[in-house]
A and B are shown apart, each in its own frame.
Chain A
Amino acid sequence: MAEEATQQAEGGTERTPQWAMAIDLDRCTGCEACVVACASENNVPTAGEDQAAMGRTKHWIRIDRYYEGEFPDIKVKYRPVMCQQCDEAPCEPVCPVNATYQNAEGLNVQIYNRCIGTRYCANNCPYTVRFFNWFAPEWAEPLNLQLNPDVSIRPSGVVEKCTFCAHKIKRAKLDADADGRELADGDVQPACVQSCPAEAMVFGDMSDGDSKVAKLLGSGRSGQLLESLGTKPRVFYLEKAD
C-alpha cells in the first residue's frame, strides 16, 4: 500500500533517481585503487614526476590521511574524497556563466563548453576537489591509446571535477531502456565503486528505500564531510559510532 502510494506520488516509472554514495571508512584500506580507476575511466591526465613533486597533480578522487595518537602507537585513517555533489553547493552560485549547476538527479554538473575559466568555483569549494586546466592535457604513449571515448577530453582553460561517472549513469540508463526494463539498484557503478577491493563504496539511488545506499544512510553510522558548513553533500561517510 505504502509502496503503491510512493510510486504514484513519484509518477510511476518516471521516477527521478537521487544519486548518492556511501563510503565505509572502517573498510577503506587506503589502497588508492579508486584513484587509479578514476583517472583511467575519466581521462584524467598524469602530471609527470617533476610536476607531481611540486604538488601539481590532478585527481578527481584523492585519499586523505588522518593520524591518531603518538608514534609508535599510531592509527591511520583514510578518507576517499571526491566532489561531494552538494545539494547546497558553494561552487554553483559563484559561476557567472551557469557552467555548473545541480540537475534533477542531484548531480553537481560541470559543463566544459560553458566554462570560461574564472576559477571562482574551485576557489569556493571547501573540499578542494575542482581543478583548473592550465594546460591542454597530454598523455605519454601508450596511455593515449586507452582514452575512454565516452568521456570528453577537457581542453585548457576549463574547470573539471568528479562527475559521479555521469557517463556510466547514462550508459546504464540506455542499457536498461534498450532491454525494456527499469534501472535496478547496482546497475550504476562509478569507477571508484567498481574498483574498490574492500567494497567500501556503495553507489545508488537514495530515494529508493530498498537500495543498498539508502539502507546504509539509515544505519546510524553515516555522516558528511564538513557537515557544519551546510553544503548537504551527497557523499556520506560511514564510521563506527563512538
Chain B
Amino acid sequence: MLSALLLLVVQTASTAEQPIGFSHTAHIEKAQMQCTDCHEGATSRDSAGLPSIRKCMLCHQFIATDLPEVVRLSEYWERKHEVPWERIYGFAKTAAVQFRHAPHARAEIACSQCHGDVASMTVAVKAVTHTMGSCIQCHRDTSATDDCLACHY
C-alpha cells in the first residue's frame, strides 16, 4: 500500500515535470515501435536525441487525435513550437565525462541495461542511476576498456 502510494507520488511527480504525459508503453508495447524510431541517434550518433514534434505529428495528425495528451501536442504544433521535453538522463557539463551512444549500440548493449524497462513505463522515469561504478562494472564484465581516458577527456 505504502509502496503503491510512493510509486504514485513518484509517477505523478515525473509526469508533472514533462510538458506532455507521453506514454512509452503505449508506443512500444501497443504500437510495436522501436526505441530508435524516435531516439534516432542511439545507434549511430553520440546522443540518442529527442524527437522533433514533426515526427510526432507524422502519426498524430491522423491517429488518436482526440486523446487529451495528443490535443496538447497539437496545440504545440499549431503554435509551431517544439515540445520542451525534460531530459531525465545525462551528465552535467561539470562532470568532465563523455558518453557516446553509437559504440554501445554497436556492442549490442540493450537500451534497458542503462535506461531500465522503459517499454513498461508511461512517462519515462529515471530507473537506473548512472555512476562510474556501474559503467566500469559493465566495461570489465564485457572486457571493454577500463582506461580512464576512455570517458574522461
Residues of A within 8 A of B102 (CB): 174, 178
Say whether A225 faces chain B, with CB atoms less than 8 Å apart: no
Q: Are A178 and B149 in contact (CB under 8 A)?
A: no
B71 sits at the interface (CB 8 A) = no
User: For residues 40 through 98 of chain B, which have their beta carbon under 8 Å from a beta carbon of chain A?
Assistant: 44, 93-98
Question: Which partner residue on chain A sits nearest B152 by CB separation?
Answer: A111
**Residue contact A113 to B96, C-beta cutoff 8 Å:** yes
Chain B positions within 8 Å of A152 at CB level: 93, 96-98, 152-153
A241 at the interface (CB under 8 A from B): no
In B90-111, the 8 Å CB interface with A consists of: 93-98, 100, 102-103, 106
Whether, in the assembled complex, A27 has its beta carbon less than 8 Å from a beta carbon of chain B, the answer is no
Contacts of A163 in B (CB 8 A): 153
Contacts of B141 in A (CB 8 A): none
B21 to chain A, nearest CB (A): 31
Number of interface residues of A (CB under 8 A): 22
Say if the beta carbon of B148 comes within 8 Å of chain A: yes
Interface of A is mostly: loop
Give the distance in Å from the alpha carbon of A167 to the alpha carbon of B46 in the complex.
13
User: Is A150 in contact with B103, judged by CB distance below 8 angstroms?
Assistant: no
CB-nearest residue of chain B to A166: B153
**Count of chain B residues near A, Cβ 8 A:** 17
Beyond A103-B149, A166-B153, whether A150 also contacts B98 by CB under 8 A is: yes
A221: Cβ under 8 A from any B Cβ: no
B149/A166 in contact, CB under 8 A: yes
Is A112 touching B152 in the complex (CB atoms < 8 A)? yes
Whole-angstrom distance between the alpha carbons of A107 and B149 in the complex?
A: 9
Please report the C-alpha to C-alpha distance between residue A35 and residue B44 in the assembled complex, in whole angstroms. 33
Instruction: Decide if B93 touches A153 in the complex (CB within 8 Å).
Output: yes
Measured between C-beta atoms, what is the minimum distance from B133 to chain A in Å? 14
**A111 in contact with B148 (CB, 8 Å):** yes
A153–B153 alpha-carbon span in the complex (Å): 9
Give residues 143-197 of A contacting B (CB, 8 Å): 150-155, 163, 166-167, 170, 174, 177-178
| Residue A104 lies at the interface, judged by CB distance under 8 Å to chain B | yes
Contacts from A to B (Cβ < 8 Å): 101, 103-104, 107, 109, 111-114, 150-155, 163, 166-167, 170, 174, 177-178
Q: Apart from A113-B96, A152-B152, A178-B106, what 4 extra A-B contacts exist at CB < 8 Å?
A: A107-B149, A151-B153, A152-B96, A155-B94
Binding site for A on B (CB under 8 A): 44, 93-98, 100, 102-103, 106, 147-150, 152-153
